[in-house]
Amino acid sequence: MNSMDRINSAIDYVEAHITEEIDFQQVARRACCSVYHFQRMFSYITDISLSEYIRRRRLTLAAFELREGGEKVIDLAAKYGYQSPEAFSRAFKSMHGVMPTMARNPGAPLKAYPKLSFHMFMDGDSEIRYQIMQKPAFDVCGIKADIVVDSERMYAQITKFWEDNIDSGVVGQFHRDIGLDYNTPLNAALFNYSPNMFSYMICYDSPSGSVPTGYFVLPVPPLTWAVFFTAKHPGHLTTRVVRRMRERIFLEWFPTSGYTQAVGPEFEMFSQDNGIFVVEVWIPITKADTFL
């Protein structure tokens, strides 16, 4: 079974148990990885969390049943794991824009979120450049925000976070406070992962003295890292290039590497020369046979 087959097997398990409490350990086992790794991989590839995907699938199927079978709202609420018909109705309206009772009406506008299926394809990408390295403990400091894992908002939140802090002068002040030349690119840290949210920080290595007041400090333990290098590209393509690199890391590199993702922060390290960027994506790793 190849990597795509394993991921699709995990999705098949979710679909087969969609009306039950999903056992994430069983989902991850079918993908041959840890729960932590599978949840991170899923959110990178799809731009939504695994729990949000499950919620959307349940509400999609509930809408089909209301439209075709005329099931009672109270029965569907119980079937799809909601504590009450009211909670189900709120979730249904949030996704579909109408109350469940309206979904039975001919012409009622509804949304469908189809079952996912993953396929490997070749699109001209070359080799993946990387190195494995160990690094002792270190600290970074910077400006932090919490990011919601949501396909409609996640990347927009990150872009806006950078733009707001640049336009307001916060980034410039951070350069001055830690003694950096303003042309030195700052980095990004991604950490504190939960199923639906993570912390994102515009950061740099903490200065040797004390960190100036007002900045968040992230201690990073000793870890083994897989460091991936993007191709050179103009700055306006950075988001697209990094996003594609992350997809390839999880769909192509991890399944054949003998490693799985370890718990810890991730980094995007930026360097540039005359407007041409290279980004290093740092992901903590451990041997794949140690995740269970």
Residue 29 belongs to domain with CATH number? 1.10.10.60
Kindly state the tokens that stand for 210: 């004390």
Q: 181: Cβ–Cβ under 8 A, 6 or more apart, which residues?
A: 175
State which of 104, 138, 169 marks the end of a domain.
104
Model confidence band, residue 291 (pLDDT cutoffs 50, 70, 90): very low
Model confidence band, residue 217 (pLDDT cutoffs 50, 70, 90): very high
Model confidence band, residue 250 (pLDDT cutoffs 50, 70, 90): confident
DSSP alpha helix (H) spans, the chain: 3-16, 24-30, 35-46, 50-69, 73-79, 85-96, 154-167, 170-177, 238-248, 254-257
How many CB atoms sit inside 10 A of residue 253's CB? 17
Which residue range forms the structural domain that includes residue 82?
A: 3-104
Contact between 224 and 134 (Cβ < 8 Å):
yes
What is the rounded average pLDDT of the residues 173-191? 95
Tell me the chain's radius of gyration from C-alpha atoms.
22
**Is 183 part of any domain?**
yes
Contact between 38 and 51 (Cβ < 8 Å):
no
Q: 219 or 244, which is more confident? A: 219
How many CB atoms sit inside 10 A of residue 144's CB? 18
pLDDT of 1 > 60? The answer is no
Contact between 25 and 38 (Cβ < 8 Å):
no
pLDDT of 135 > 80? The answer is yes
Co-location of 260 and 185 in the same domain: yes
Q: What is the pLDDT of residue 251?
A: 81
Co-location of 98 and 136 in the same domain: no
Highest mean pLDDT among 23-27, 37-41, 117-121: 23-27
Q: 251 or 17, which is more confident? A: 17
DSSP assignment, residue 168?
A: T
Q: Per the structure, how many domains does the chain have? A: 2
CATH at 186: 3.20.80.10
What is the rounded average pLDDT of the residues 6-27? 93
Co-location of 164 and 265 in the same domain: yes
Q: What is the pLDDT of residue 154?
A: 79
Q: Which helix (H) or strand (E) holds 229?
A: strand 223-229
pLDDT of 84 > 90? The answer is yes
**Is 118 part of any domain?**
no
Co-location of 232 and 143 in the same domain: yes
Contact between 288 and 259 (Cβ < 8 Å):
yes
What is the rounded average pLDDT of the residues 71-93? 93
State which of 58, 89, 104 marks the end of a domain.
104
What is the rounded average pLDDT of the residues 106-131? 78
Closest CA to 202 of 262, 158, 232: 158
The dihedrals phi and psi of 156, each to the nearest 5 degrees, come to -65, -35
Co-location of 238 and 148 in the same domain: yes
Q: What is the pLDDT of residue 152?
A: 60
The dihedrals phi and psi of 65, each to the nearest 5 degrees, come to -70, -40
Co-location of 191 and 100 in the same domain: no
